[in-house]
Amino acid sequence: MTMTQTPLPGKVHLVGGGPGDPELLTLKAARLLATADVVVHDNLVSAAVLAYARPDAERIYVGKKAGNHSLPQIDINRLLVTLARQGKQVVRLKGGDPYIFGRGGEEAETLAAAGIPFDVVPGVTAAAGAAAYAGIPLTHRDHAQSCFLVTGHLQDESCNLDWPTLARPGQTLVIYMGLTSLPEISRQLIAHGMDPATPAACVRRATLPDQEVITGSIADLDGRVRAAGFKPPAILIIGNVVTLHEVLGLPSP
């Protein structure tokens, strides 16, 4: 009598693809991409990074854009479990870092609950990449002794963030996915005590050859961004460190 064997579970690698420049991909991420059976990738993963995938690997796009999710998060979680149970080596490739506004924690919880082996490969998060390539140190002894990373992808109009803390001087505020909410973000920060003249920057296409940076103040940045026709995705950097962009914002080698 021949017994049907159940395939051994595969493994899911939650991999940070970095902010865009393929040379910022970690060695481990590149190795896993080169050997994975399936790559489940996001919208923010650059084509140059995706090119590291094994040529015959299955590629599944599950990207999210504002108001347009190709696959709901709960279905992405289930997809990862299904692929692993088929015995496949899966790279879940995300822009930036999986555990910094990448929903990697939610996916890891699902995998752990299902008994699926997984690991996490950190990536250069957008805040670090955008700031470095724009010549804006996130911390600096003369300008900022702390740095806050927050999401501007607000679930409702109440903008339920800790505005008094975020509006304090002497720190750097980095806002992911905040371009659409920039008018409300500016209003709330100023209303909670931030000096309207506080320097601010918007970085688009971070770390890529066509990266664009607009600087201004927290009071006028939205108008400057609109005049330039900036569209998401982009990242906001707020604080006195932005003044260093004019000195340090040199082309990367």
Sheet with strand 11-16: strands edge to edge: 58-61, 38-41, 89-94, 11-16, 118-121
Q: Quick one: DSSP state of residue 22?
A: G
Judge whether 42 counts as a catalytic residue. yes
**Which residue in 42, 88, 97, 222 is the catalytic one?**
42
Please spell the DSSP secondary structure of 139-196, one letter per residue.
-BTTTBS-EEEEE---SSTT--S-HHHHT-SSSEEEEET-STTHHHHHHHHHHTT--T
Positive or negative, the CA dihedral 225, 226, 230, 232 is positive
**Which residue in 28, 37, 64, 195 is the catalytic one?**
64
Catalytic residues: 42, 64
